[in-house]
Amino acid sequence: MIFYKMKKTSLLNQALSEVIASMGHTDMLVVADSGLPVPKGVRRIDLALTKNVPGFMETVKVVLEELAVERAIFALEMRLKSPDLYQQLTSLLKDRDISWEEIAHEEFKARTSLAVAVVRTGEFTPYANVILQAGVVF
C-alpha cells in the first residue's frame, strides 16, 4: 500500500505522525542529535541512518509543518558551540513566530524526561537538540 498520497504534509514517518497526532496543548516533543540520552519511560523514535542523515534542521522543519508549536527550548551552549546551527534554528523560530527559552544543557536533559517522545536524528553537531512545546491551532 502507498500511504503517502493520503498525507497533506511531508511527514511520512508513521511513528512520528502518530505521536504528533496524539499530542495535546503544552505536551513536549524533543528533536535530538544522535547522542542525546533518552530517559527511561520516554518513547524513542529513531530516524538516524548514518552520520548527519537525517539532519537536525531538516527534521525540525518537517515536524513544524505538522505540529503547532508555541515555544521551543534548547541549550544555551548551542550559541557558543554550534553558532551556525543556533542561527538557523533561531531564524526558523522567528519566521514562524515561535518564542524560545535557552537553558543549561544539564537542565535541558532533565526536562526531556517530561517529553512524550524523543526523535533521534543522525545529526553529529554538538547541542543539536530542541524541545518543542505543542500549541493549539485555534
Q: Answer yes or no: is 46 a known binding residue.
A: no
Residues 66 and 20: their CA atoms lie apart, in Å, by 7
Instruction: Report whether pLDDT(130) > 90.
Output: yes
**Average pLDDT for 77-104:** 98
Backbone dihedral angles phi then psi of residue 83, each to the nearest 5 degrees: -60, -35
Instruction: Report whether pLDDT(4) > 70.
Output: no
- Average pLDDT of the chain, as a whole number: 95
Q: Which amino acid is at 35?
A: G
Tell me the whole-structure pTM to 2 decimals: 0.94
Annotated catalytic residue: which of 10, 12, 25, 113? 25
Strand ranges in the chain using DSSP code E only, listed in sequence order: 28-32, 43-46, 69-75, 99-103, 117-120, 130-134
Assess whether 25 carries a catalytic annotation: yes
Q: Answer yes or no: is 129 a known binding residue.
A: yes
What pLDDT is recorded for position 10? Answer: 84
Please give the share of the chain, as a percent, with pLDDT higher than 70: 94
Domain 14-134 is found in CATH 3.90.1150.10: no
Sign of the C-alpha dihedral, residues 131, 134, 135, 138? positive
